[in-house]
Amino acid sequence: MKSILCFGDSNTYGLVPGTNNRYEWGTRWSSILDERVRDKGYRVVEEGLCGRTTIFEDPLRDGRRGTELLPTILESHKPVDMVVLMLGTNDCKTVYDASAEVIGKGIEKLISQIKAVDSDIKILLMSPINLGKNVGEEGYDPEFDDNSVEVSKKLPKVYKRIANDNCIDFLAASEYASPSEDDREHLNVLGHRKLADAVCNKVEKMIS
């Protein structure tokens, strides 16, 4: 059976908005993908981690830098036939003060790490959902501000260019799903379902 590695942050992990809980199997978009591709000879490896970034080191939590972990994860799950890569939301935090272009540089490094392991691995690059308006307000997530929201909105254009430059597939999650009103940051059940439909349709075309 072939494998699809979904490498992302809390919206791949399946964090329930406004809590520390995780959505159950069958609700998370990556688990829905697994159920859709099983009869095609594929299985999904879920590698979502809350707080994960592309290249930035979280000053408060260890092991969040994607480029530090991805090569090891690729090796531990070898052989990997496809990687679905969706990171960038946490890079928008004020502590990193990163532009969309700088975040794109981190994505490019992750892509190069995948290709270094095996140039035949198929890659689906996904720009994340947008951060919700006023996500940094009191009672929501103070690690973000209004500029974070604007940077998140610029990621699809940057990621699409990177995908074209690297001859890989692209999907903008923000075209299909929005953050929950509960925390203005994470997918709710409907959001996971909508994103799953889009990802499944894209992946099925890639493996057909």
d(CA 136, CA 157): 23
Is residue 50 within 8 A of residue 62, CB to CB? The reply is no
Q: What CATH code is carried by the domain that includes residue 151?
A: 3.40.50.1110
Is residue 129 within 8 A of residue 91, CB to CB? The reply is no
Instruction: Tell me the pLDDT band of 77, cut-offs 50, 70 and 90.
Output: very high
Mean pLDDT of 46-63: 96
Specify the pLDDT at position 39. 95
Number of domains in the chain: 1
Specify the pLDDT at position 147. 98
Which residues, including other chains, have CB under 8 Å from residue 48's CB and lie 6 or more apart? 6, 7, 8, 9, 10, 11, 12, 13, 14, 28, 30
Q: Report residue 199 as tokens.
A: 């990802």
Q: Are strands 122-127 and 82-86 parallel, antiparallel or unpaired?
A: parallel
Specify the pLDDT at position 93. 98
> pTM of whole model > 0.85?
yes
Calculate the alpha carbon distances from 45 to 36, 83, 143, 166 in Å.
14, 9, 29, 23
Specify the pLDDT at position 196. 98
Specify the pLDDT at position 83. 98
List pLDDT tens digits, range 157-194.
999 999 999 999 999 999 999 999 999 999 999 999 99
Least confident segment among 59-63, 73-77, 101-105: 59-63
**Phi then psi for 187, rounded to 5 degrees?**
-70, 140
Residues in the chain: 208
List pLDDT tens digits, range 132-154.
999 999 999 999 999 999 999 99
List pLDDT tens digits, range 14-27.
999 999 999 999 99
Q: Which range marks the domain in which residue 98 is found?
A: 2-207
Specify the pLDDT at position 178. 98
* Average per-residue pLDDT for the chain: 98
Calculate the alpha carbon distances from 116 to 93, 103, 120, 129, 204 in Å.
29, 20, 10, 28, 25
